[in-house]
Structure 1
Amino acid sequence: MRESLREKIVQVCDQKIEKKGSNVGVSFYAFFANKNSDPELLMEAATWWIQTHRLDHFEKAHKIKDMVLQGL
């Protein structure tokens, strides 16, 4: 996964946790605007989320952040 996407995921997870608490869930769509302006990047996130790690549609933000920071 490219570094810019990793940074965006950590940033969004931090924001969600700060606003809604440590139990907040996210999907990979949370890291993108409502319009599909970068389909390649969206597919990169979806591949990491669905194919590589077989995550559920919604996962805890702290789990995703930890995975990204560990380089998984």
Structure 2
Amino acid sequence: MTVAVRGPLSDALREKIIAVCDAKLASKGPGVGLSFYAFFANKNDTPGLLIEVATWWIQTQQLDHFEKASKIKQLVQAQ
């Protein structure tokens, strides 16, 4: 499956996603999966960023609810 990269994420969000993916990969190994909610606290104080990630994840990339952290990191780094 080829995933098209449309609209880039903000630099701050890209850095946050990569950091979370790195932490999950380091603690749980290469098979760890996550959802876009992994980038936010339970009480989200940044709804704009949540919408940005949700739009990128669901509409732009058309990803499943859970994806491998390594795949997400690769997609983000490709932007």
Shorter-chain TM-score above 0.5: yes
Give distance in 1, aligned partners of 2:72 and 2:48: 20
Give distance in 2, aligned partners of 1:4 and 1:33: 16
Is residue 41 of structure 2 the alignment partner of residue 33 of structure 1? yes
Determine the structure 1 residue equivalent to 2:64. 56
Once the 2 structures are TM-superposed, how far is the Cα of residue 36 of structure 1 from its aligned partner?
1.5
In structure 2, stretches of 5+ residues that fail to align are 1-8
Match of 1:5 among 6, 13, 35: 13
Q: Which has the higher helix share?
A: 1
Percent of residue pairs bearing the same amino acid type: 63
Once the 2 structures are TM-superposed, how far is the Cα of residue 69 of structure 1 from its aligned partner?
0.4
Once the 2 structures are TM-superposed, how far is the Cα of residue 62 of structure 1 from its aligned partner?
0.2
Is residue 32 of structure 2 the alignment partner of residue 24 of structure 1? yes
In structure 1, stretches of 5+ residues that fail to align are none
Q: Secondary structure of 1:54's match?
A: coil
May I ask how many residue pairs the two structures share in their alignment? Answer: 71
Q: CA RMSD in A?
A: 0.4
